[in-house]
Amino acid sequence: NNISDMDKENTKALIVYYSETGTTEAIAKKISQATGADLYRIEPEQPYTSADLDWQDNNSRSSKEMNDRSARPAIKDGKVNLDNVATVYLGYPIWWDQAPHVVNTFIESNDLSGKKIITFCTSGETSIDGSVRQLKSAYPALDFVKGRRLNGASVNEIEKWISSLKK
Ligand SMILES: Cc1cc2nc3c(=O)[nH]c(=O)nc-3n(C[C@H](O)[C@H](O)[C@H](O)COP(=O)(O)O)c2cc1C
């Protein structure tokens, strides 16, 4: 390791997100524009159909998964390269006030200890608060930073939000 290699250690940011209908993805891409960080999309092994996503049906796949605290839907290529990554931006749509359980599958498939995990979400109206409370209580050893619901945020607003996190 020479000095310039050491400078690069644990300095990178990575944006990890799940997005079913593109809303969270649009924000993830703007965070990438603001930070230059790479993007990684969590992809469920079995794609969700529109029937699966029907929250008005208690028996839909998403309803059943979100009612089952231990449900861990499989994801494709679930392991991500976290070499030199210090900060993970973790984004998701709110499902039933929570992060979808594929996000738990991702968290449990990777070693995020020692990383700063900055959460963000999109939703119809629900804030990020309940989902972050749940993540913190499920994974007390991890360092979650409560971020924001970012529906419709511009790159400029995202830059301001990120610099406010550093203060
Ligand atoms: C199964 C399911 C449950 C949802 N639950 C909530 C909710 O509790 N509160 C809310 O405001 N929006 C809820 N939504 C709406 C999504 O959070 C919102 O459309 C989100 O921006 C979608 O992001 P995406 O396009 O990245 O998948 C739900 C959507 C689905 C499919």
- Would you say 96 and 83 are in contact if contact means Cβ atoms under 8 Å apart? no
Residue located nearest, by CA, to atom 17 of ligand 1: 123
CATH number listed for the domain at residues 10-165: 3.40.50.360
pLDDT at 1 (0 to 100): 45
pLDDT at 78 (0 to 100): 87
Indicate if ipTM > 0.90: yes
Ligand 1 atom with the shortest distance to the CA of 60: 1
Neighbours of 115 (CB within 10 A): 20
Query: How close is the Cα of 116 to the center of ligand 1, in Å?
Result: 25
Query: How close is the Cα of 95 to the center of ligand 1, in Å?
Result: 5
Domain ranges of the chain: 10-165
Query: How close is the Cα of 20 to the center of ligand 1, in Å?
Result: 9
pTM for the predicted model, two decimal places: 0.95
pLDDT at 121 (0 to 100): 98
In sequence order, the 6+-apart residues with CB closer than 8 A to the CB of 137 are none
If the chain, 167 residues long, is cut into consecutive pieces of 10 residues, what is the mean pLDDT of each piece? 54 96 98 96 98 98 98 95 95 98 98 97 98 98 97 97 89
